Amino acid sequence: MSKLKIGLVQQAVANNDKQISWERTAKEVTALAQQGCQLVMLQELHSTLYFCQEENTDYFDLAEPIPGPATDFFGHLAESLDIVLVTSLFEKRSAGLYHNTAVVFDGDKGMVGKYRKMHIPDDPGFYEKFYFTPGDMGFEPIQTSVGKLGLLVCWDQWYPEAARLMAMAGAEILLYPTAIGWDKTDTPEEQKRQHDAWFTIQRAHAVANSLPVIVANRTGFEASPQAGEPGIEFWGQSFIAGPQGEVLALAASDKEENLMVELDMARCESVRRIWPYFRDRRIDAYDDLLKRWRD
């Protein structure tokens, strides 16, 4: 299959009512499928507010098992639309053991794989290390009827290692559901640098691996539950880039939006033929990549 129509849904989230969220999301996914999308991706933790703005044990109630209500809902949706659907949820694996997990459904094949976020951030307003155990499934692409998906989540996007391992395992697309935004107390210049860094490094994963990259980011302002904290202005700007990092579609920063692109999957190989980075990796000299630091 040389042509692949893909889409993503960029959303603002108003509360933690999952049922309402799922119905809203299903409407957008359906619209994309009706326009011919064979693969649709949702943003990170799309069912609820970004609850990691504080460390609060009550929020573990938002988690659910796999399979569970969320995977039932989106599994049925993917089947009814006959598409590949990439979702994200707060996974309860056991009491006291939770993950930030992306799940892939493939038409009537149902759930064909999941990825547990491997790199977990923790900084003011993004207290993820309290909630999410780092993934223990490694960097393994998920085979679907539209190709092998190199699915990663948010903080993973800062790690060239993660994208590389997915590419080396045969991933044909890199996918990043994400939830990142601005602290409004930062200067506009700092906000611009942060967004540019995020945009640049993910486009660079496309370049380094000659693969398309899809990024679905949250939009809208979510106040902090803690008095005096600035909250997060999620910066949207979801995008789809081709295998040279070229931007094929870009969403607004401040509103909900769907993106849709028809990828020419044959271009990935033609890019790799002329600039064949994998031919020349110096694997004889990379041992220290497995160290914490070279000291």
Residues in binding contact with a copy of itself, number by CB under 8 A? 54
Considering only 26-34, 161-169, 216-224, 254-262, which stretch makes contact with a copy of itself by CB under 8 A? 161-169
Tell me how far apart the alpha carbons of residues 221 and 96 are, in angstroms, rounded to a whole number. 30
Catalytic residue status for 117: yes
What distance in Å separates the CA atoms of residue 253 and residue 198, rounded to the nearest whole number?
A: 13
- DSSP E strand boundaries for 95-231: 97-106, 111-116, 142-144, 147-151, 173-178, 181-182, 213-217, 219-222
The residues that bridge with 8 in the sheet, in sequence order, are 41, 259
Q: Which residues pair with 258 in a beta bridge?
A: 9
Which SS3 state, helix, strand or coil, does residue 24 take? helix
Q: What is the dihedral of CA 58, 61, 62, 66, to 10 degrees?
A: 150
**DSSP structural state of residue 51:** G
Show the CA angle centred on residue 139, arms to residues 134 and 145, nearest 5°.
Answer: 125
Query: Rule CB under 8 A: which of 168-187 touch a copy of itself?
Result: 168-170
56 belongs to the binding site for a copy of itself (CB under 8 A): no
Minimum Å gap between C-beta 244 and a copy of itself is: 4
Nearer to a copy of itself, 95 or 290 (CB): 290
Q: Is 128 a catalytic residue?
A: no
Interface segment toward a copy of itself; rule CB under 8 A; list 34-42, 118-126, 145-153, 213-221: 118-126
Active site residue 154: yes
Residue 266 contacts a copy of itself per CB under 8 A: no
Q: Is 208 in the site for a copy of itself (CB under 8 A)?
A: yes
Q: How far is the CB of 152 from a copy of itself (least distance, A)?
A: 11
Residues 122 to 151 in contact with a copy of itself, rule: CB under 8 A: 123, 134, 138-139
Q: Which residues make up the interface to a copy of itself (CB under 8 A)?
A: 118-121, 123, 134, 138-139, 155, 158-162, 164-165, 168-170, 193-194, 196-197, 200-201, 203-205, 207-208, 242, 244-246, 274-278, 280-283, 285-295
